[in-house]
Amino acid sequence: MTKEHAEGRRAAAVIVAAGRGQRAGGDVPKQWQMLGAQPVLTHTLAAFAAHDAVDEIVLVLHPDDRDRAAPFLGPGMVLADGGADRAASVQAGLAAVRDSDYVLIHDVARPLVSAACISAVLAALEHHAGAAPALAVTDALWTGRDALVTGTQDRSGLYRAQTPQGFRLDAIRAAHDAHPGGAADDVEVARAYGLDVAIVAGDEDNLKITLPGDFARAARILRGRDGH
């Protein structure tokens, strides 16, 4: 049965998992490392597979990882080969989306994304070409050089970006086709093309696993959700 958004729009998720994640340590890329009883990748895929509005999932992998992916694929999931950089991997994922109006582009290293966050992004796409979760910066910001503080930075209007970053599919495909490369994320690509991008409430638990210590923090959050 096809899932649909409340307004009848169909949504796809593109999970970007082609990176090697060397800063996270370990013998394998972070998406294949264990978080609790399952690999990071499993948690991320499950979050989108369980959401009522997500009809198809495209998993973008490094070509070397294709053979290990089969046990993780469920109904409505397809594979795409990643490219030379993140932008190329996203474009490959977008090209593999078959029949959706909206697309959610998500980093595999954010395995704790909530259903509420996914829903908020999709709801904002009813009125905007793009939407993404973010957290307002609340800490003091410094500039520095040679381990010395050189000044302060006004934090007004600054946000910490998260994923999933959602877009109307045709619009973000066109934006990526027109972009010269080097963008920090898909919101930057969208805005360069003139698309409006709404900010929805982010979630502190929606952390990105980047460094070895992030696994322990993610595991604590996961145990708290499970009640253990």
Q: DSSP letter string over 100-111? A: -SEEEEEETT-T
Q: How many residues does the chain have?
A: 228
Overall fold of domain 11-226: Spore Coat Polysaccharide Biosynthesis Protein SpsA; Chain A (3.90.550)
Supply 202's token pair: 């982010």
Supply 105's token pair: 């582009």
What value does the CA radius of gyration of the chain take, rounded to a whole number of Å? 18
Residues 40-68 have pLDDT tens digits of 999 999 999 999 999 999 999 999 998 88
Checking if the pLDDT of 146 tops 60, the result is yes
* Predicted local confidence at residue 19, as pLDDT: 80
* Predicted local confidence at residue 1, as pLDDT: 37
Q: What are phi and psi of 98, to 5 degrees?
A: -95, -50
Q: pLDDT-derived band of residue 9, with 50, 70 and 90 as boundaries?
A: confident
Averaged pLDDT of the chain? 92
